Amino acid sequence: MNKLLLITTILFSSFCAQATDFNPEDLQGKWLMMKMEAMKVADMNNVWEFKGKQLTTISNGEALTPDEFTIEGDIIKVGRNQIQIMDLDEKTLRAKQDDFIYILEKQ
């Protein structure tokens, strides 16, 4: 019984660690913001561009000053801001900052 519990705990811990560990390479490129909360915002042309260790926010074609970012587990740290990666695959990034949920599509 104890061996089964130990094996289950190890497998669960391993799965959780893999599910929440991201690195800057996972985010590289341009991500078009499709939704912010329940609002569709794709026509506003808001983009997050990850290049190297820099994140540039582009709003209506105007790039804001790039900021350096780091990733710790599932958290993107940009200055004082923290963005939680909720889900990420090759095409879609779902993230949460404060009480806002963002859905972005890889360009």
The reported pLDDT for the residue numbered 82 is: 96
Which CATH number characterizes residue 34's domain? 2.40.128.280
* Any domain includes 18: no
In single-letter form, the type of residue at position 88 comes to L
Given the structure tokens 């800057």, which residue do they identify? 24
pTM above 0.85, yes or no: no
Tokens for 26?
A: 């996972």
* Any domain includes 59: yes
* Any domain includes 7: no
Highest-pLDDT range among 5-19, 39-53, 63-77 = 63-77
* Any domain includes 15: no
Q: What is the DSSP letter of 91?
A: S
- Neighbouring CB atoms inside 10 A of 105's CB total 14
Domain count, the chain: 1
Tokens for 11?
A: 């497998």
Residues 69-88 pLDDT 10s: 999 999 999 999 999 999 99
Is pLDDT of 46 > 80? yes
Pairing of strands 54-59, 67-72: antiparallel
43: containing domain: 23-106
